[in-house]
Amino acid sequence: MERLDPQKLYVEFRPGVTTTEPILGRKYTLTHSDITAELFLTIGLQFAYDKITSMRDEVLGEWRNSSSGLLLYIYVYIGDFGTVMNSIRNTIFRRELPLALEAIVYGDNEFFVAHPQLNYAPIWIYFDSIDPSYKRFEYLGTPIDYK
């Protein structure tokens, strides 16, 4: 896993969220630049659809209630790009997800300090694809694993 370079992470808080509130309704949109390797984390009450490109290589996340408590739900779009491209996208997302999760946890650090119990909330990733071999939910640890 490539480690996060904090100098290349840019965090934007949109109206309705602060560095510590709210928990439910808090949404993350993580995008990047292939040219500069910069990461852009937008935290708001809505996903930052204005930052999503036709490449659909963003990572989306939000806090959700479940029967066992709060969880961090992450969504990635493997998609419907054909067999070869879906395989490549799946490989890239799996390789880069630890870095993406590290960026979310680091970028929203004050939130995790204010709500230390969330460091131990489960992270569930939904890989969305038309191809059933890639479409699945997977557990990827807890936020503390990415500090």
HSE (CB half, 13 Å, CA atoms) of 29? 15
Helix ranges restricted to H, the chain: 83-107, 109-114
pLDDT, average across residues 18-36: 96
Tens of pLDDT, residue by residue over 37-77, are 999 999 999 999 999 987 788 999 999 999 999 999 999 99
How would you class 127 by CB atoms within 10 Å of its CB: exposed for 0-12, middle for 13-18, buried for 19 or more?
A: buried
pLDDT, average across residues 81-107: 94
Three-state SS string over 46-61 comes to CCCHHHCCCCCCCEEE
HSE (CB half, 13 Å, CA atoms) of 95? 8
Average pLDDT of the residues of the chain: 95
At residue 54, the pLDDT reads 78
- Domain map of the chain by residue range? 9-146
Say which residues have a Cβ less than 8 Å from residue 91's Cβ, sequence separation at least 6. none
At residue 135, the pLDDT reads 94
